[in-house]
Amino acid sequence: MEETTKKVSGELEKNLEQLRALRDEVRVKAHLAKMDVKDRWRELEPRVAAVVEQAAKSASEASRTAVSEAIQALEKLRSSLP
C-alpha cells in the first residue's frame, strides 16, 4: 500500500512540475500574443492555480485527473500561440 502511495505521489509531483512549466511558458507567450489568446489565458490561469494548490495537498486519483486535464488544456492553448 505504501509503495503505491509513493508511486502515485511521485507521478503527481512529476505532472505538477510539467504543469508549472507549461503555466510559465503560456504566461510568457500569452503576454506577447493577441488579445483573444490573452482572454483565454485569463480564464485558464485561475483553474491551473487551483489545480496546482489542490494537487500539492492531496495525492488522490481526483488530483491526478485534475492535473492531467489542466496539462491538456495548457498544451492546447500553447499550441495555439504563435
Q: Summarize the confidence of residues 56-74 as an average pLDDT.
A: 80
Q: 16, 56 in Cβ contact below 8 A?
A: yes
Range of the domain at 16: 2-80
DSSP 10-64: HHHHHHHHHHHHHHHHHHHHHHHS-HHHHHHHHHHHHHHHHHHHHHHH--SHHHH
Please give the tally of structural domains in the chain.
1
- Rounded to 10 deg, the angle between the 61-80 and 35-57 helix axes is 160
Average pLDDT, the chain: 81
Is residue 12 very low, low, confident or very high in pLDDT (cuts 50, 70, 90)?
Answer: confident
pLDDT at 56: 67
Q: DSSP character for 7?
A: H
pTM: 0.52
Quick check: 62 pLDDT over 90?
A: no
* Residue where the block lists cell 492555480: 49
Condensed to tens digits (0 to 9), the pLDDT of residues 36-55 reads: 777 888 888 888 888 877 77
